[in-house]
């Protein structure tokens, strides 16, 4: 019986989908046609873009015209979410494009210290021939509202194991008293 319960638990926990993280971003600009751009994007555990909510000019960016890319190098890594209407991976002036980048680098003067994280956001619109970079970018991660199925399965199996252990203890008789 315990063997079947363990097999069911293993099947549930292994079939759980990869966790997704949703991030909200807010970019402010001191020049260009837009003073503020805000939106959100969702990535899975493998840094694949699974959803995006962003409008620039007359363009709504979604999974058909947006991508995510990661790159690693010796002293850090970077992650970018970008959207282009011309199908390329670089911003093009004169059409609605954007790039949100997050870079993490090790400060070589303080190797044991925390990495330096920088955020950037640049966009171009069809009405402007220039690409505009943000003066400030704030990125926040949304908290997950509901635990994953694997978490629930682990918790319920833990309660079951504790209950079985307590029942077993009651079944054992007390030693005979002389």
Residue 77 binned pLDDT confidence (cut-offs 50, 70, 90): confident
Query: What local confidence, expressed as pLDDT, does residue 167 receive?
Result: 80
Question: How do 97-105 and 36-44 pair as beta strands?
Answer: unpaired
- Average predicted confidence (pLDDT) for the chain: 76
Q: What is the pLDDT of residues 91-100, one digit of tens each?
A: 666 677 788 8
Residue 127 binned pLDDT confidence (cut-offs 50, 70, 90): low
Query: What local confidence, expressed as pLDDT, does residue 8 receive?
Result: 52
Query: What local confidence, expressed as pLDDT, does residue 41 receive?
Result: 87
Q: What is the pLDDT of residues 13-58, one digit of tens each?
A: 454 455 678 889 899 988 888 888 888 888 887 778 888 888 887 7
Q: What is the pLDDT of residues 134-163, one digit of tens each?
A: 888 888 888 766 777 888 888 898 988 888
pLDDT above 80 (res 171): no
Q: Kindly report each contact of residues 127-133 with a partner whose C-beta sits within 8 Å and lies 24 or more positions away, as own/partner.
A: 127/33, 127/57, 128/32, 128/33, 128/93, 128/94, 129/93, 129/94, 130/32, 130/93, 131/91, 131/93, 131/97, 132/29, 132/31, 132/32, 132/33, 132/34, 133/29
Query: What local confidence, expressed as pLDDT, does residue 172 receive?
Result: 57
Most distant CA atoms of the chain, gap in Å: 99
pLDDT above 70 (res 103): yes
Close Cβ partners of 3 (under 8 Å, ≥ 6 residues apart):
none
CA distance 56 to 134: 14
Percent of the chain residues topping a pLDDT of 70? 74
DSSP notation for 36-70: EEEEEEEEETT--EEEEEEEETTEEE-TTSEEEEE
Answering whether pTM is above 0.85, one says no
Query: What local confidence, expressed as pLDDT, does residue 89 receive?
Result: 57
pLDDT above 80 (res 109): no
Residue 177 binned pLDDT confidence (cut-offs 50, 70, 90): low
């Amino acid at each position: 019986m315990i063997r079947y319960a363990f097999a069911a638990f293993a099947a549930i926990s292994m079939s759980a989908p990869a966790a997704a993280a949703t991030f909200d971003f807010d970019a402010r600009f001191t020049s260009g046609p837009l003073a503020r751009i805000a939106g959100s994007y969702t990535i899975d555990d493998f840094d694949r873009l699974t959803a995006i909510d962003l409008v620039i000019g007359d363009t709504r960016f979604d999974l058909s015209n947006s991508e995510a890319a990661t790159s690693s190098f010796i002293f850090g890594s970077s992650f970018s979410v970008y959207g282009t209407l011309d199908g390329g991976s670089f911003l093009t002036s004169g059409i609605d494009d954007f790039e949100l980048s997050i870079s993490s680098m090790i400060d070589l003067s303080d190797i044991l210290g925390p990495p330096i994280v920088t955020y950037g956001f640049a966009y171009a619109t069809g009405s402007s021939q220039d690409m505009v970079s943000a003066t400030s970018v704030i990125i926040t991660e949304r908290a997950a509202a509901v635990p994953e199925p694997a978490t629930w399965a682990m918790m319920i199996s833990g309660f079951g194991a504790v209950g079985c252990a307590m029942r077993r203890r009651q079944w054992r008789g007390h030693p005979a008293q002389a």
